[in-house]
Structure 1
Amino acid sequence: MSIHLRRITPDEHLGFIREVSAPGSTFPTTVSFLQTPAWAKVKPEWTSESLGWFEGTELIGVGLVLYRLLPHVSRLGLRSSLAYLPEGPVLDWTRPDVPELLTALAKHARERGAFGLRIGPTLPHQSWGPETIKTAIADPAITRLSQATADHTDHAATRLANQLRSLGWKAPKDGEGFQAGQPKFNFQLPLTVVDEESGERRQKTPDELLKGMNQLWRRNIKKADKSGVEVTRGTRDDLAAFHTAYLETAARDGFTGRPLSYFQTMWDALTDEDPDRMRVYLARHEGELVAATTWVGVGRHCWYSYGASTNAKREVRGSNAIQWQMIQDSLAAGGEVYDLRGITEGVAEDDPEIGLIQFKVGTGGQAVSYVGEWDLPLIWPVHRAFTLYMERRAGKKPTA
């Protein structure tokens, strides 16, 4: 049966996402919140459209495409956009007709006048468990996680990467870090396990998750509890308190923070689509804010999206307490994965980001590399100019 691609309504788009991300679904790909129709409202500087792939009359995949007319391209006198599907499209990447699906997408983007197309399939390629990561960090001969033998490699993801190359797609040079867009390497805590008695997959219990954490994490969670740290869910009004702590974190860690209006727009867009799509958490000690985070959930997948901690009272371990609350609440929401989002793959002792992976590995989770983001040039001279521009920008500190 022939495949065709056309624009769809936000309701059709959201309906498909709800179906394939629901508990019990066997859809093999993570459905990212960056591919929900609501995300277009979070990025008003981009134009957007929802696309659907159909096999006959059956909707088999969707994608949120963001288009942006980039300033450096405009200065060349060309009215051409980058077509970008962050952590998308939402397709079953194990299908044998993936090349046909991608060819249809490229044809559509070219007809829209795009000079280039970028996708980011959320198909896990490799994963490294906590013991493997700790061994890699301790080995001076290993400076990047990809140099350590992965605990698991998904052959469907390897096949997809080979298909992309054969179709002319290229992986951005900085795809392993943050500069290319969405990070290729992420840290995830599985919330499910195969039951030894029944052989069926079930959610882990809070006790099982605690036992999977390292001793430092368990001790810090207990310390926060004994110190009287209280974690609560906030409302939109509490984004201001979160943002104050977030800017304090930005100043301490040396990145440029986003304005409060960004988080308010994100809240309004996501919660309008689903009242429980986004949450804000606040950890307080004796009434004083010590940590704050934002959480996003789409079906079986939950994300820790932004985090902040104050410089004061770090000894009460508010950051551990707030993470533990979000993990437990992700279980209650039916989550199967708690995603701590991006990491860089550097594991050398002097790597500037080593503290981030060390903090996250304490949860007992795993580092996961997706297939990564891939570019398809549609207008070669313009795409080359864009690539050179991005390479010049690569040395700049990204906004967290």
Structure 2
Amino acid sequence: MPVPLTLRPITRAEHLAFVAARPSVSHMQLPSWGDVKPDWRAESLGWFDGGGRLVGAGLVLLRPLPKLKRYLAYLPEGPAIDWHAPDLERWLDPLPAYLKGRGAFSVKMGPPVVVRRWSAEAVKAAIADPGARRLLDAEATTVEPAAFELADRLRRMGWQRTEPGGEDGFAAGQPRYVCQVPYAGRSLADIHQGLNQQWRRNIKKADKAGVKVVRGGHEDLPAFYTLYTETAERDRFMPRPLPYFQRMWTALTAEHPDRMRLYLAHHEGDVLAAATMITVGKHVWYSYGASTSRKREVQPNNAMQWRMMADAHELGAAVYDFRGITDTLEESDHLLGLLRFKVGAGGEAVEYLGEWDFPLNRLLHKALDVYMARR
């Protein structure tokens, strides 16, 4: 009989040492991410084997229900455990039990497990196909059968897949569909070759027009924020407040000086585009982007992204992650342009297993569902 795994709180130092020993984990599973979310109580958890060795870790965020000492427990894009272990129950069974003792009425997690991938060519063909309305209507380039088995096992354990909220595949939690440019084993010239013709043309155009991309610091966040609020209005999303980004910068760079970077594209004294980039091990994320509608003809976005992609390659990245994309291929969808932009950089569409809930108190869990649906 396998020895049960023990789940207990760990220190930030233990958590960071565990992360450092892995190729990467999500930036939302770092101790510092808890500092970015002051409305949540954060705790680092560790899974220990029979020999007392730390074999898994996770950041859990506990969000209190108004007027009740009950919490939603959330592990975004985590935990970092062996998801394909034949005895997965040994890993997951202690989690709801432990969190129930902490006052949780429901547990939400996002297994970092890929289900399908569509190459840039496959996505381009799907967009052009009038019969394909969503990504799932198009044949995937690669499929991971183990992910389907994992989903079945989670259901048998009592976990329920979160129904996607938000519009066009963007869930209320973390995105199920993302766009990633694979870097492993590729030179920067290979990655440049993977850009579509429009991207290469726009990078040249920006260079010729004199667009300069520079790295900024905490003091440049207000300039980023001005562009970000303009982008939010244009693209119809609710912007986060400036202190959120300032907190993010302070927390992430305190944990590792190069964890978060800010890039700004300048042209003749104007800041036309800005973006944040996060690095954990060999995974680099483009996390927030912003741009103005002015001077679009000098192509600041392509210039800035190419600089970030080149810097990510220099950092030894195995993947450059453009984060969330829509899974809808309808021409009428205002998010389709963003999908085209990201795939144009040679990115493949990637479907993750999605987020899963374990209701500990069905009444409170249902009440939360109703509340989230009305937001």
TM-score (norm 1): 0.90
Alpha carbons 1:172, 1:180 under 8 Å: kept:
no
* Residue aligning to 1:397: none
Q: Which among 136, 139, 143 is matched to residue 146 of structure 1?
A: 136
* Cα shift readout 1:338-394 (whole Å, capped 9, x = no counterpart): 00000120011112211110111101110101111000111111111111222222x
Instruction: Give, in angstroms, the shift of residue 177 of structure 1.
Output: 2.5
Give the letter aligned to residue 10 of structure 1.
R
- Alpha-carbon distance between aligned partners in 1 of 2:130 and 2:370, rounded to the nearest angstrom: 34
Q: Identity percentage over the alignment?
A: 52
* Cα shift readout 1:242-284 (whole Å, capped 9, x = no counterpart): 1111112122222221121111000000000000000000111
- Alpha-carbon distance between aligned partners in 2 of 1:66 and 1:117, rounded to the nearest angstrom: 10
- Alpha-carbon distance between aligned partners in 2 of 1:389 and 1:100, rounded to the nearest angstrom: 33
Q: Are 1:43 and 2:37 matched, yes or no?
A: yes
3-state SS of 1:20 partner: coil
- Alpha-carbon distance between aligned partners in 1 of 2:288 and 2:65, rounded to the nearest angstrom: 27
* Cα shift readout 1:189-214 (whole Å, capped 9, x = no counterpart): 0112xxxxxxxxx2x22211111111
Alpha carbons 1:99, 1:167 under 8 Å: kept:
yes
Unaligned runs of 5+ in 1: 22-29, 193-201, 394-400
- Alpha-carbon distance between aligned partners in 2 of 1:273 and 1:156, rounded to the nearest angstrom: 34
Alpha carbons 1:125, 1:369 under 8 Å: kept:
yes
Give the letter aligned to residue 215 of structure 1.
Q
Q: Are 1:188 and 2:180 matched, yes or no?
A: yes
Give the letter aligned to residue 52 of structure 1.
G
Superposed, 1:13-28 pairs within 5 Å as 13-21=15-23
* Residue aligning to 1:103: 93
| 9-18 or 166-175: bigger deviation | 166-175
Alpha carbons 1:180, 1:373 under 8 Å: kept:
no
Instruction: Give, in angstroms, the shift of residue 321 of structure 1.
Output: 0.4
Give the letter aligned to residue 62 of structure 2.
Y
Give the letter aligned to residue 226 of structure 2.
T
* Residue aligning to 2:307: 325
* Residue aligning to 2:282: 300
* Residue aligning to 2:147: 157
Q: Are 1:82 and 2:72 matched, yes or no?
A: yes
- Alpha-carbon distance between aligned partners in 1 of 2:18 and 2:360, rounded to the nearest angstrom: 29
* Residue aligning to 1:53: 47
- Alpha-carbon distance between aligned partners in 2 of 1:66 and 1:388, rounded to the nearest angstrom: 21
Instruction: Give, in angstroms, the shift of residue 70 of structure 1.
Output: 2.6
Instruction: Give, in angstroms, the shift of residue 82 of structure 1.
Output: 0.4
Q: Which among 50, 53, 57 is matched to residue 62 of structure 1?
A: 57
* Residue aligning to 1:268: 250
Give the letter aligned to residue 212 of structure 1.
G
Give the letter aligned to residue 92 of structure 1.
D
Q: Are 1:368 and 2:350 matched, yes or no?
A: yes
- Alpha-carbon distance between aligned partners in 2 of 1:99 and 1:221, rounded to the nearest angstrom: 50
Give the letter aligned to residue 22 of structure 2.
V
- Alpha-carbon distance between aligned partners in 2 of 1:177 and 1:13, rounded to the nearest angstrom: 32
Instruction: Give, in angstroms, the shift of residue 69 of structure 1.
Output: 1.1
Q: Are 1:384 and 2:355 matched, yes or no?
A: no
* Cα shift readout 1:87-113 (whole Å, capped 9, x = no counterpart): 110112111121221111111011112
Give the letter aligned to residue 97 of structure 1.
D
Alpha carbons 2:47, 2:54 under 8 Å: kept:
yes
3-state SS of 1:240 partner: helix
CA RMSD of the aligned region, Å? 1.2
| 144-153 or 272-281: bigger deviation | 144-153
Instruction: Give, in angstroms, the shift of residue 148 of structure 1.
Output: 1.2
* Residue aligning to 1:179: 171
Instruction: Give, in angstroms, the shift of residue 173 of structure 1.
Output: 1.4
3-state SS of 1:38 partner: helix
Q: Which runs of 4+ in 1 moved over 2 A?
A: 175-180
- Alpha-carbon distance between aligned partners in 2 of 1:100 and 1:106, rounded to the nearest angstrom: 12
- Alpha-carbon distance between aligned partners in 1 of 2:183 and 2:248, rounded to the nearest angstrom: 26
* Count of residue pairs brought into register by the alignment: 370
3-state SS of 2:98 partner: helix
Give the letter aligned to residue 134 of structure 1.
K
Alpha carbons 2:169, 2:328 under 8 Å: kept:
no
Alpha carbons 1:48, 1:64 under 8 Å: kept:
yes
TM-score (norm 2): 0.96
| 123-132 or 38-47: bigger deviation | 123-132
Give the letter aligned to residue 182 of structure 1.
Q
- Alpha-carbon distance between aligned partners in 2 of 1:377 and 1:264, rounded to the nearest angstrom: 34
* Residue aligning to 2:328: 346
